[in-house]
């Protein structure tokens, strides 16, 4: 059965002056407006379409791609606010309603918020929520430390930033882990830093432990390969210069250098880190 709020591959059932009707199985025939039809469409041709409700609550198809489908989060701009809630731009002609009861804080026109897309169980209409904890798990289910994950920065807190993990969980990036400017709505790669005793997830923007040191050491060696075996950045360099060139903290950088020196892959000569010849 085709899924509302998702992309589906549906066949053309018949053509009309204003578009084509697609066979939606148990959902019946679904209109695809003419402007979304491909060139020279044929009866029975399958089209990849997104199903949602238009301004009159009729099920309709489009080939446009929304910023998020049901079960996903995305940063969306508030376009309007009225007596029932805020309306955000999710990339489709009809804006997405975020009811007042689903707003983490009151939304204002022009603001950007990270919104979770869901289907209301009573009206069956598609709506949005910035109360992410209502829909996303804040406790670990199947993550492990140092696991690579996709992050979406959701909101600022006194402790750092909360982030959506793989569209399924929420975690925290503490202030001490932030080595670069972050903003709400930003997407980036990250890692599971730790799983707390209560099951909540701490996040990092870089690998931890030996894996991190090995990764940074490889970056230092690659830098020296490009610069005649020399690295002008040392354990005395500024944290800003180190992050700009190696995307890591000064502490991890110093540990990686220590490993290179211990393995005799590099040496300090006149204050410059030099790669040792094999």
The 10s digit of each residue's pLDDT in 79-130 is 999 999 999 999 999 999 999 999 999 999 999 999 999 999 888 899 999 9
**pTM for this prediction:** 0.79
Locate 197 and state its tokens. 């005793």
Is the confidence at residue 278, as pLDDT, over 70? no
Residue of 143, 160, 145, 146 whose CA lies nearest to 206: 146
Domain map (residue ranges) of the chain: 7-62, 73-134, 148-204, 209-275
CATH numeric code, 73-134 = 2.40.50.140
Check residue 209 and give its pLDDT: 63
- Per-residue confidence (pLDDT) for residue 262, from 0 to 100: 87
- Which pLDDT score, from 0 to 100, does residue 181 have? 85
Task: Provide the pLDDT for residue 102.
Answer: 97
Residue 158 has pLDDT above 80, yes or no: yes
Q: Stretch 149-158: mean pLDDT, rounded?
A: 96
* pLDDT for residue 82: 96
Using CA atoms, how far apart are residues 128 and 91, in angstroms rounded to an integer?
Answer: 13
47 Cβ contact list (under 8 Å, min separation 6) = 9, 10, 11, 12, 22, 32, 38, 41, 61, 63
Q: 7-62: CATH homologous superfamily?
A: Nucleic acid-binding proteins (2.40.50.140)
Give the Cα separation of 44 and 254 in Å (integer).
Answer: 63
Find the range with the poorest average confidence among 32-41, 62-71, 157-166, 259-268: 259-268
* Residue where the block lists tokens 């009225």: 82
Per-residue pLDDT tens over the stretch 187-221: 999 999 999 999 999 998 876 666 667 778 888 99
Residue with tokens 């701009």: 77
Long-range contacts of residues 27-36, Cβ cutoff 8 Å, at least 24 apart? 27/1, 27/2, 27/51, 27/59, 28/59, 30/2, 30/59, 30/60, 30/61, 31/58, 31/60, 31/61, 32/60, 32/61, 32/62, 32/63, 33/60, 33/62, 36/61, 36/62, 36/63, 36/64
Q: Please determine, for residue 58, whether its predicted confidence score (pLDDT) is greater than 80.
A: yes
Quickly list DSSP for 127-179. Answer: EEES-GGGTSB-S-SS--TT-EEEEEEEEE-SSEEEEEETTTEEEEEEGGG--
Q: Do domains 148-204 and 209-275 have the same CATH topology?
A: no
- 209-275: CATH architecture: Orthogonal Bundle (1.10)
pLDDT value of residue 30: 97
Enter the CATH code of domain 148-204: 2.40.50.140
31 vs 62: CA distance, rounded Å: 9
Would you state the pLDDT for residue 29? 96
């Amino acid at each position: 059965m085709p899924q509302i709020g998702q992309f589906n591959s549906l066949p053309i059932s018949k053509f009309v002056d204003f578009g084509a009707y697609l066979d939606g199985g148990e959902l019946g025939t679904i209109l695809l407006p003419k402007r979304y039809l491909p060139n020279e469409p044929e009866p029975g041709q399958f089209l990849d379409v997104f199903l949602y409700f238009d301004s009159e609550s009729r099920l309709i198809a489009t080939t446009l791609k929304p910023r998020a489908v049901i079960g996903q989060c995305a940063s969306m701009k508030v376009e309007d606010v009225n007596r029932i809630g805020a309306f955000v731009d999710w990339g489709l002609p009809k804006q997405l309603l975020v009811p007042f009861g689903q707003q983490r804080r009151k939304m204002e026109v022009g603001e950007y918020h990270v919104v979770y897309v869901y289907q209301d169980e009573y009206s069956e209409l598609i709506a949005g929520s910035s109360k992410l904890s209502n829909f996303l798990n804040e406790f670990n289910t199947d993550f492990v430390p140092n696991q690579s994950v996709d992050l979406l920065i959701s909101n600022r807190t006194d402790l750092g930033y909360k982030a959506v993990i793989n569209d399924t969980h929420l975690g925290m990036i503490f202030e001490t882990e932030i080595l670069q400017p972050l903003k709400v709505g930003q997407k980036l790669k990250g890692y599971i830093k730790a799983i707390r005793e209560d099951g909540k997830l701490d996040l990092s923007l870089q690998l931890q432990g030996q894996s991190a040191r090995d990764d940074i050491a490889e970056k230092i060696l690659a830098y020296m390969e490009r610069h005649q075996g020399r690295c002008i950045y040392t354990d005395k360099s500024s944290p800003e210069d180190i992050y700009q060139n190696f995307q890591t903290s000064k502490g991890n950088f110093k540990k990686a250098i220590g490993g290179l020196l211990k393995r005799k892959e590099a040496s300090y000569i006149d204050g410059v880190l030099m790669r040792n010849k094999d």
